[in-house]
Amino acid sequence: MTKDEIQFWMLIAFAIAFVLSSYKVYFLFSTPLEGVDTQTQHNQLEDIIIDFIKELKNSELTSTELFNQLKTLDSLQDTPYKNFNENRFNQLLQKLFYTYKVQTLNELIISIHQTVRGTSNENDL
């Protein structure tokens, strides 16, 4: 084989390897992951926290105490919520603070309880 033939076959091998690797990269990034997307899971966690706060009797809790109580819930033991940690909990609390227009956790708990009472009073009428 001459030098030109070797270069030609090397170029063909490179082109084939490039096409295959490009296809693999495209396939890797274009395939969605299985399971619930992050926003849906975020909304589900928010609903779980609100439901838990609705049933809460003590409004004088710190965020760490509330997080530790939430971690014991059966609904958070499922596989989709295995990455639920205190940082994510604090992000959800911040979103709830903005939603309910409050500054502290105690105000949030009181606001959610008032919302529940207001809804149940309207249903009684």
Mean pLDDT across the stretch 67-89? Answer: 88
Separation of alpha carbons 110 and 107, rounded Å = 5
Q: What are phi and psi of 103, to 5 degrees?
A: -110, -30
How confident is residue 120, by pLDDT bands cut at 50, 70 and 90? low
56 pLDDT band (50/70/90 cuts)? confident
| Predicted structure pTM score | 0.66
Residue 100: predicted pLDDT: 92
3-state secondary structure of 111: helix
**Mean pLDDT value across residues 95-111:** 92
Q: Residues 59, 112: contact at Cβ < 8 Å? A: no
43 sits in which H/E element: helix 38-55
The CA radius of gyration of the chain, in Å to the nearest whole number, is 27
Task: Inform me whether the pLDDT recorded for 124 exceeds 80.
Answer: no
